[in-house]
Amino acid sequence: MKKRMFTALVHNQNGILTRLMGIFTKHQYQIESLAVAVYPELKEVSKMSVVLEVEDDHRFLQLLKQVNKQIDVLYVSDSPDDHAINRELVYIKKLLI
């Protein structure tokens, strides 16, 4: 098991979060952390960062492709970099506390 984070830029349309979360459920992934925020410079677009535990790279790739395929997803990137993921998690924790 290793942590992976991916980031998606999404077109802010009704139900996009539900649609993407449904894909995680369908692919049997549990989300460790989820952060979504509207881009201040571009109100139509939100950035979504998701951290999850990944066992199988092939299955994870299928998940990314399914997310990328959604009509309102503009861009998806993923990061296997532990450092970046931990930084993101610390940042989210700070926001929560």
- Contacts with another protein by CB under 8 A lie at 10-11, 13-15, 18-19, 22-23, 26, 44, 61-62, 65-66, 68-74
Asked if residues 79 and 4 have their Cβ atoms less than 8 Å apart, the reply is: yes
- Determine contact, residues 4/57, Cβ cutoff 8 Å: no
Nearer to another protein, 1 or 71 (CB): 71
Dihedral sign, CA of 88, 7, 20, 62? negative
Closer residue to another protein (CB): 50 or 76: 76
Which H helix or E strand runs over 49? strand 42-54
- Write down the least CB distance from residue 88 to another protein, Å: 23
- Classified as helix, coil or strand, 20 is helix
| Closest approach of another protein to the CB of residue 97, in Å | 32
d(CA 76, CA 81): 16
Please report how close the Cβ of residue 47 comes to another protein at its closest, in angstroms: 13
Nearer to another protein, 65 or 93 (CB): 65
Min. distance of Cβ 73 from another protein in angstroms?
5
